[in-house]
Amino acid sequence: MKRSRRSSAVVAALLAGSVVTFGAAGTAEAATPKPWLPATPTNWSLVVDQTKTTPVTVTRGVTQYSETYDTVGGRQHTQVLDVNLGDPNVRLGVVEAGDVITNPADETVSSMAARTHAVAGVNGDFFEINASGRPLGGVITNGKLLKSPRPDFNAQLGVRADGTMVLGPQTFSGSVTDGATSTPLTSVNVVNDVASGGITEITPDLGGATALPASTLVLGHETKTGTFVVDSVQTGVTAAPALAKGQLGLLGGGAGGTWLSTTVHSGDSVSVTADTGGLKQLLSGSTMLVRDGAVYNDPTGNPPGGVNPETVVGVSKDGKHTIIATLDGRLGASAALGVTPAQVAGYMVAHGAYNAVLFDGGGSTEMAARKPGDPAVSVMNNPSDGHERPVANGLFLYSTEQAPGFARTMVVNGGKGVDTVPARPCRSPRSASTRSATPRARRRPCRSCPRRSVRGRTASSPRATRAPAC
């Protein structure tokens, strides 16, 4: 039940404060709030009213809900995905815009979700907007390294082979070997590394690069995984071409460029190693907000200034439960004021995050998810641009079910009663769930129904499949 509003002056006089602590499992244990007020997250203005929608199943193991907080400073509005990573039906995946690192056009979250058949997702890393479109940090998609992680940087999200999530610094190591001579590989598809004298491997996933400092470019054709035969060695280049499948290259500047130009020759067989610790997915953010269950001031982070819409991901201590949230902003104090990074940190601690990372925000902040019965995702939050912004990448949720089962439960009109007329189409919204509680979508209305009142439980839709006529 919604709590009644109180005068902020009276509330301030009465409120002694609320305390949020963490238990051993990393779940929030809030002190009993004052009976006349909801709890106020750390770093927030006093909360005088708070409402939460009933969680809706997106797919088994994933629910979605929204929250509205009325504070003495203005309204805050959030969308939340609550995810059980221990459910075998749930898989996390990272998607790169257009499946290529350099992509000035980028891609919207709903487009990435649609083409990869995701049931929900949010935007990811900061990127070179209105320029190359490249994300600032690393990217691994389904075990494939598209761009190596940022060194000595805390705000990184990894997914292990067992499906659990880890937030924190990720390592990269690599080498380049030509005959008996080897040198360290600085990165993969990080063209900015040539400016500091490094060597980066370039692959077809880069998509090319321009405006480089004078560099040495080695191009070749792959003969087996990790090995290529050199076709050419060029010095003084300022652009790298988009490579075709089967091509590989090395790009070096300064000392790295000198090593390439003096060591590598056409016809040589060159071996390249790159190790990211066995991660299956990788996505970078801007700063770590929560560490070991407490608000954290990340010395390696680059948090945005001011009050903005924000996207954030938090995880439990065991890595098996994640909270993914978007917080609206720039819509006015009566709709959604926006938040500072410190306020996002307080919000995540209040929601049980043991660790949390802030991702790109502002007009990039977006959550998309499938509503009950729908065959496709919808934008769940209110983007501050008034529309979806194309972004560099995103974090997405998938159902592992290979094929839809028979519908066992049907929901008509959101579980509310509805009267129908014999031999007339029933156009009330419907959705169905299988025996395993995996939701299904309905593509078309049922043919006809007898006059009756139909009730059921709420379901939702991870894939576009047809349920039987009701």
pLDDT in tens, 108-127: 999 999 999 999 999 999 99
Residue 199 has pLDDT above 50, yes or no: yes
Sort 48 into a burial class: Cβ within 10 Å, 0-12 / 13-18 / 19+.
buried
CB of 303 closer than 8 Å to CB of 286: yes
Structure tokens at 183: 């040198």
pLDDT the model gives residue 449: 41
Which of the 8 DSSP states describes residue 271?
E
Residue 357 has pLDDT above 80, yes or no: yes
The C-alpha atoms of residue 291 and residue 324 are separated, in whole angstroms, by 16
* 218-273 pLDDT tens trace: 999 999 999 999 999 999 999 999 999 999 999 999 999 999 999 999 999 999 99
Which of the 8 DSSP states describes residue 112?
H
CB of 188 closer than 8 Å to CB of 147: yes
Strands lying side by side in the sheet with 407-412 = 407-412, 430-434, 439-440
pLDDT the model gives residue 467: 35
pLDDT the model gives residue 33: 52
Q: Which amino acid is at 228?
A: F
pLDDT, average across residues 203-214: 97
**pLDDT band of 439, cuts 50, 70, 90:** low
* 144-167 pLDDT tens trace: 999 999 999 999 999 999 999 999
The C-alpha atoms of residue 421 and residue 261 are separated, in whole angstroms, by 80
The C-alpha atoms of residue 460 and residue 470 are separated, in whole angstroms, by 16
The count of other CB atoms within 10 Å of the CB of residue 148 is 28
CB of 139 closer than 8 Å to CB of 393: yes
Which is it for strands 20-22 and 28-30: parallel, antiparallel or unpaired? Answer: antiparallel
N-terminal to C-terminal alpha carbon distance within the chain = 33
**pTM, full prediction:** 0.85
Residue 406 has pLDDT above 80, yes or no: no
